[in-house]
C-alpha cells in the first residue's frame, strides 16, 4: 500500500512538471491553517487551475482531569496526555472568475483525505488508548489572491464542507466510530511562488 501511495504522490506532484507550461503558470504553495500544507498550483488556462497538496501535523495536549472509578468512591486526580499525528492529501479544482492586474478572486471544490493517529495516556492507569482513523472531506471554497511581485502571491480562502470520519479505538476492547460533520473547513492564508 505504501508503494502505491508513493506512486500516486509522484504522479500528482511531478508528472505535471513534464508538460510544457508557460512561465508563471505553475506555482509552489505553502498554506498556514489548522493543518499546514505544501502543494502545487497548475494553471490549465486563465480560468482553471488544479492544486494538489499534502500536509502533516503533530499536536500534543496535556490536561488535568478527575476520574471516578465507581459512584461510591472518591475522585482520583491525574493527568491526561494526548498525542495526535496526521497526514493529509488534497486536490483542489479552482475557477478564477475575476483576474485583475494584482487581484484574483476564485472559487473551487476541494477534496481531502486524512489519516490520523491518537495516543491517549492517563497517569492513573497503565497502558494507553490507541485511536486510528481516516477522514474524507469535500468543500466549496472562496478565495482572494494578491500578487505581491510578479512571481509571489499572497492568498486567503474560506471553505464550507462536509467531513466523514471512520475511527477505530483499541484500549482492550476494539470499538469503531463513524463521524459526519458540516462546517467551515480549509480556511487559511498562504503564499504561492510562481516559476
Under DSSP, is residue 22 helix (H, G, I), strand (E, B) or coil? coil
Distance CA 24, CA 194 (A): 5
Under DSSP, is residue 43 helix (H, G, I), strand (E, B) or coil? strand
Beta-carbon contacts of 116 under 8 Å, excluding residues fewer than 6 positions away, are 84, 85, 86, 131, 132, 133, 134, 135, 167
Q: Would you kindly state where each structural domain of the chain is located, as residue ranges?
A: 27-194
Beta-carbon contacts of 133 under 8 Å, excluding residues fewer than 6 positions away, are 115, 116, 165, 166, 167, 168, 177
Map grid coordinates 495516556 to a residue: 121
SS3 content of the chain, % helix, strand, coil (to 5): 10, 70, 20
Architecture of domain 27-194: Beta Barrel (2.40)
Distance CA 135, CA 163 (A): 7
Per DSSP bridges, beta strands 128-149 and 103-122 are: antiparallel
Distance CA 36, CA 190 (A): 9
Closest to 87 in 3D by CA, of 51, 37, 30, 121:
37
- Model pLDDT for residues 13-65, shown as the tens digit of each residue: 554 444 444 545 889 999 887 778 899 999 998 899 999 999 988 888 888 77
Map grid coordinates 475575476 to a residue: 98
Q: What is the pLDDT of residue 7?
A: 55
User: First-to-last CA distance in the chain?
Assistant: 33
The phi, psi pair for 6, rounded to 5°, reads: -65, -40
Confidence class for position 146, pLDDT limits 50, 70, 90: very high
The structure's pTM equals 0.75
Mean pLDDT of the region 155-180: 86
- Model pLDDT for residues 62-117, shown as the tens digit of each residue: 887 776 666 676 766 778 788 888 999 999 999 999 988 889 999 999 999 999 99
Amino acid at each position: 500500500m505504501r508503494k502505491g501511495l508513493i506512486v500516486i504522490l509522484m504522479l500528482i506532484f511531478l508528472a505535471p512538471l513534464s508538460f510544457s507550461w508557460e512561465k508563471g503558470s505553475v506555482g509552489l504553495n505553502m498554506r498556514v491553517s489548522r493543518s499546514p500544507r505544501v502543494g502545487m498550483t497548475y494553471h490549465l488556462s486563465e480560468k482553471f487551475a488544479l492544486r494538489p497538496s499534502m500536509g502533516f501535523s503533530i499536536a500534543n495536549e496535556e490536561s488535568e482531569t478527575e476520574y471516578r472509578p465507581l459512584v461510591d468512591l472518591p475522585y482520583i486526580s491525574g493527568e491526561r496526555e494526548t498525542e495526535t499525528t496526521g497526514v493529509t492529501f488534497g486536490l483542489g479544482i479552482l475557477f478564477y472568475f475575476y483576474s485583475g492586474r494584482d487581484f484574483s478572486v476564485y472559487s473551487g471544490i476541494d477534496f481531502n483525505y486524512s489519516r490520523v493517529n491518537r495516543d491517549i495516556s492517563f497517569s492513573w492507569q497503565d497502558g494507553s488508548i490507541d485511536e486510528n482513523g481516516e477522514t474524507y472531506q469535500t468543500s466549496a471554497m472562496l478565495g482572494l489572491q494578491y500578487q505581491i511581485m510578479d512571481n509571489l502571491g499572497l492568498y486567503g480562502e474560506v471553505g464550507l464542507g462536509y467531513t466523514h470520519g471512520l475511527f477505530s479505538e483499541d484500549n482492550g476492547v476494539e470499538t469503531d466510530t463513524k463521524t459526519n460533520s458540516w462546517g467551515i473547513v480549509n480556511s487559511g492564508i498562504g503564499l504561492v511562488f510562481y516559476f
